[in-house]
Amino acid sequence: MNWGQKLVKGFKGLVGALVFYTRLPISAKIPYEIDRIGRFAPVVGLLLGNLLLIGDRGLAWLEVGSFSRAVLLVCLWCLLTGGLHLDGVMDTADGLAVQNPQLRLQVMQDSQTGAFGVMAGGLLLLLKVAFLTDLEYNNTSPYSLRLWALVMAPVWGRWGQVLAIACYPYLRPTGKGAFLKAEMQLPIDFLWGAGCLIFLTGLQIWGMGNWVLGMGLLLGGGTIAWGVGYWFHSRLGGHTGDSYGAVVEWTEVAFLGLVLVVEVVVDRFT
């Protein structure tokens, strides 16, 4: 396969990732493939983050209040993904609520959402709204922490998913996440997400002029992305498509919380 064919195949894979992971209006005339689309998940996250940033700036231009803006951004977040990963949060929470490990996977497959799933989904959305409300946007600088939180949280969430796919066994012979695990090729499939994160961190350091802050968020985000996937693995003994989605969502919200803590510390000591 020559470089031209590789580029065409890569483009088709990226379009396939957009079709699978988002609800963006992709023309049916555009060819796509779903082979190894997991490697493109962080790139999809970068696109989603920039769409959230555009939405945030548009709402700010309309002088929408901080709380209402946060609520609308979270709604946009869900619309862009079709609630794909949020569904995984709720199903995984229902499964973890079962004391018998042998019954957890069976409960997670149930299409009906239980009380623990509703609580988990509601708490996650509330945390996102709360963190986005408190993350102040510095209108005098295009390189504020709020900007980076919106852009990088979806990337870190999907990087966490890539780590979970690569590092832990898949618990079902089939399922919506089985092909992601089966088609993962290491280490090459790590490069897409790593490239996104290194580029964003470099851009952040250049824009804000603070390499300590940039490297701190890089290390913190990496720790969160790995830790969330490991936590679910320790409870389930591996991963499913639902827990992949849960890793995305909880990594996103934890990274927003990290940025908020960093903002408070920076404001306190500068």
More confident position, 79 or 215:
79
The residues pairing with 239 across neighbouring beta strands, listed in sequence order, are 170
- pLDDT at position 139, please? 45
Q: Is the pLDDT of residue 52 over 80?
A: yes
Tokens encoding 27: 């023309």
Q: With 70 as the cut, is the pLDDT of residue 72 above it?
A: yes
pLDDT mean over 227-256: 96
A 10 A CB-CB count for 156 gives: 32
The more confidently predicted of residues 208 and 11 is: 11
* b/e burial code for range 123-141 (CB count within 10 A of at least 16 → b): ebbebbbbbbbbbebeeee
For range 183-196, the mean pLDDT: 83
Q: Which pLDDT value is given to residue 99? A: 84
Query: What whole-number percentage of the chain has pLDDT above 70?
Result: 96
pLDDT (mean) for 86-111: 89
Global confidence as pTM? 0.94
18-27: pLDDT as tens digits: 999 999 999 8
Report CA torsion sign: 72, 76, 82, 88: negative
The C-alpha atoms of residue 149 and residue 30 are separated, in whole angstroms, by: 32
Using one digit for the tens of pLDDT, what is the confidence trace for 106-159?
888 887 888 999 999 999 999 999 999 998 755 445 557 888 899 999 999 999
Q: How far is the C-alpha of 65 from the C-alpha of 51, rounded, in Å?
A: 19
